């Protein structure tokens, strides 16, 4: 299934007068603050957030999975779904694949299908947290950190195979997230496990093409509950800096202990030029993978404040990070969920773009926390939804993607096409 430009146009015609009114009003408000709305709009239009292939099906918990119906059954259908998101919001122009779930059988067909929908291939992800059928060595006790060199060899080879598929598709980066860890004190030698992981990552790093980046993702716990080999940004940063200049830390918002100051981590990594990738989601307790902005939109805004500061600073050593949503859960239609996530990200980004940075620096230099808060919240409390809608309109997408999705009855169509009992592979 595909959403056509005619369909978008018909949907937009319904809301265009109302949109014009609210956007014109907002433009005036911003003008009074000396903000050029078109400059912000252009940045939003250029900002593309990759969609992970595993977020397109209903996620499960370790207790149950309630299939949603009409879920993608193949890589082609996953690409179709991301194509629809991109048609609706103009901001989801890339897909991130997970190997072996998404091994392309016909690379050329997959590439041209994605290109026809305006999609690029973002980072490829390896999977050494699950055993596959006919696999020689189990990952039950780890992969790159395993005590058995044959299991490590297998995990290294798998990552090299992922690079191979990524190269064929035109990806430029590899994301490594390792479940590796232990659940009981004494079970694993921390030092040896980290050393083995580093040695294995070195080999994978050397197996990447010259123009590729490696993103090392960290996570404090789960699936193991006593220790995780790459548990925090410090460990990831240590590995990335020793691996080389094309290795970076990847921050997943859900991979922190409660109340961690993630915005400070972002600032520190950017100062070092080592923030490579970003996984967006929201959470209350742990790695909950809920819709971005559903719980802590202000935290997201504060994170974007640091991201924008790092990105807009011409002397910053940090490359533009790779953006991806990493959310997946049990209750919502995954496509609606992703539309909401992308919008929340764009809003937080736009809000951070309108912060008066000169005044904020003045408030900091004069040690005036009350004034600093006023400046931040002035930006945060400005309703920029019409500006995001205008960016979509200018990009040929829907003024109201969520509304358009519902009124086009996309899910019903997908169920008709694909059936009610579909099983997408995924976390």
- Rounded Cα–Cα distance for residues 136 and 147 (Å): 15
147-186 residues near ligand PSV, rule: CB under 6 A:
177
The distance of closest approach from Cβ of residue 326 to Mn ion in the complex, given in angstroms and rounded to an integer, is 4
Query: Of 52-60, 165-173, 275-283, 399-407, which segment contacts Mn ion by CB under 5 A?
Result: 275-283
Contact of residue 427 among Mn ion, ligand PSV, none (CB under 5-8 Å per partner type)? ligand PSV
* Nearer residue to Mn ion within complex by CB, 51 or 363: 51
Quick check: 266 and 299 in contact, CB under 8 A? Answer: no
Write the CA distances from 389 to 12, 15, 160, 295, 394, integer angstroms: 10, 11, 41, 22, 9
Helix, strand, coil percentages in the chain from 3-state DSSP, rounded to 5 = 50, 10, 40
The distance of closest approach from Cβ of residue 100 to ligand PSV in the complex, given in angstroms and rounded to an integer, is 12
Rounded (10°) angle between helices 334-353 and 37-46: 140
- Rounded Cα–Cα distance for residues 369 and 374 (Å): 9
Task: Calculate the CA 288 to chain-centre distance.
Answer: 14
241-280 residues near ligand PSV, rule: CB under 6 A:
252, 279
- Rounded Cα–Cα distance for residues 236 and 220 (Å): 11
**Site size with ligand PSV, rule: CB under 6 A:** 9
Coil, helix or strand for 39? Answer: helix
Coil, helix or strand for 215? Answer: strand
- Rounded Cα–Cα distance for residues 181 and 241 (Å): 21
Quick check: 27 and 20 in contact, CB under 8 A? Answer: no
- Rounded Cα–Cα distance for residues 77 and 362 (Å): 52
Pick from 196, 237, 279, 418: which binds Mn ion (CB under 5 A)? 279
* Nearer residue to ligand PSV within complex by CB, 123 or 410: 123
Quick check: 86 and 92 in contact, CB under 8 A? Answer: yes
**Phi-psi sector, 6: left (phi>0), alpha (psi -120 to 50), beta:** alpha
Give the x/- contact pattern for ligand PSV in 77-116, rule: CB under 6 A.
----------------------------------------
Contact of residue 337 among ligand PSV, Mn ion, none (CB under 5-8 Å per partner type)? none
Pick from 161, 168, 222, 287: which binds Mn ion (CB under 5 A)? 287
From the list 55, 12, 111, the residue with the least C-alpha distance to 342 is 55
Pick from 19, 146, 219, 400: which binds ligand PSV (CB under 6 A)? 219
The distance of closest approach from Cβ of residue 219 to ligand PSV in the complex, given in angstroms and rounded to an integer, is 5
> Concatenated DSSP letters for 224-274?
-SSEETT-SHHHHHHHHHHH-TTEEEEEETTSS-TT--HHHHHHHHHHTT-
The distance of closest approach from Cβ of residue 215 to ligand PSV in the complex, given in angstroms and rounded to an integer, is 9
Quick check: 82 and 51 in contact, CB under 8 A? Answer: yes
* Nearer residue to Mn ion within complex by CB, 151 or 322: 322
- Rounded Cα–Cα distance for residues 3 and 50 (Å): 19
Q: Is 326 in the site for Mn ion (CB under 5 A)?
A: yes
* Nearer residue to ligand PSV within complex by CB, 216 or 414: 216
**Site size with Mn ion, rule: CB under 5 A:** 4
Pick from 77, 80, 232, 252: which binds Mn ion (CB under 5 A)? 252
* Nearer residue to ligand PSV within complex by CB, 18 or 132: 132
Q: Is 287 in the site for ligand PSV (CB under 6 A)?
A: yes
Query: Of 62-70, 287-295, 363-371, 388-396, which segment contacts Mn ion by CB under 5 A?
Result: 287-295
Contact of residue 125 among Mn ion, ligand PSV, none (CB under 5-8 Å per partner type)? ligand PSV
Contact of residue 80 among Mn ion, ligand PSV, none (CB under 5-8 Å per partner type)? none
- Nearest residue to ligand PSV by CB is 177
The distance of closest approach from Cβ of residue 427 to Mn ion in the complex, given in angstroms and rounded to an integer, is 8
* Nearer residue to Mn ion within complex by CB, 126 or 422: 126
Residues that bind ligand PSV (CB under 6 A): 125, 177, 217, 219, 252, 279, 287, 326, 427
Residues that bind Mn ion (CB under 5 A): 252, 279, 287, 326
């Amino acid at each position: 299934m595909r959403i056509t430009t005619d369909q978008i146009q018909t949907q937009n015609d319904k809301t265009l007068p109302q949109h014009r009114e609210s956007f014109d009003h907002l433009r005036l408000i911003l003008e009074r603050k000396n903000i050029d709305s078109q400059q912000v709009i252009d940045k939003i239009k250029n900002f593309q957030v990759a969609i992970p292939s595993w977020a397109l099906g209903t996620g499960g918990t370790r207790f149950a999975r309630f299939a949603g119906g009409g879920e993608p059954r193949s890589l082609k259908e996953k690409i179709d779904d991301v194509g629809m998101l991109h048609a609706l919001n103009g901001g989801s122009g890339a897909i991130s694949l997970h190997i072996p779930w998404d091994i392309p059988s016909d690379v050329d067909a997959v590439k041209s299908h994605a290109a026809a929908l305006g999609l690029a291939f973002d980072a490829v992800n390896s999977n050494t947290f699950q055993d596959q059928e006919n696999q020689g060595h189990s990952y039950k006790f780890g992969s790159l950190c395993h005590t058995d060199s044959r299991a490590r060899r297998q995990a290294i080879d798998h990552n090299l195979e992922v690079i191979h598929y990524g190269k064929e598709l035109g990806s430029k980066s590899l994301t490594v997230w390792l479940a590796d860890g232990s659940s009981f004190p004494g079970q694993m030698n921390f030092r040896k496990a980290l050393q083995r992981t580093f040695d294995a990552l070195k080999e994978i790093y050397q197996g990447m093409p010259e123009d590729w980046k490696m993103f090392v993702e960290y996570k404090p716990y789960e699936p193991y509950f006593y220790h995780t080999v790459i548990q925090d940004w410090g460990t990831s940063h240590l590995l990335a800096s020793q691996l080389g200049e094309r290795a970076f830390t990847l921050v997943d918002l859900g991979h922190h202990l409660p109340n961690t100051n993630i915005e400070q981590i972002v600032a520190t990594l950017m100062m070092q030029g080592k923030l490579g990738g970003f996984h967006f989601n929201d959470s209350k307790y742990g790695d909950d993978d809920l819709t971005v902005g559903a719980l802590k939109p202000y935290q997201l805004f504060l994170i974007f404040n640091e991201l924008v500061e790092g990105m807009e600073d011409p002397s910053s050593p940090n490359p533009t990070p790779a953006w991806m949503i990493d959310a997946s859960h049990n209750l919502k239609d995954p496509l609606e969920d992703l539309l909401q996530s992308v919008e929340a990200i764009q809003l937080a980004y736009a809000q951070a773009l309108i912060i008066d940075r000169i005044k904020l620096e003045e408030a900091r230099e004069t040690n005036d926390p009350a004034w600093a808060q006023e400046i931040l919240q002035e930006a945060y409390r400005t309703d920029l939804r019409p500006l995001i809608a205008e960016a979509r309109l200018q990009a040929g997408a829907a003024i109201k993607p969520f509304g358009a999705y519902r009124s086009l009855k996309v899910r019903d169509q997908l169920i008709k096409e694909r059936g009610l009992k579909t099983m997408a592979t995924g976390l």
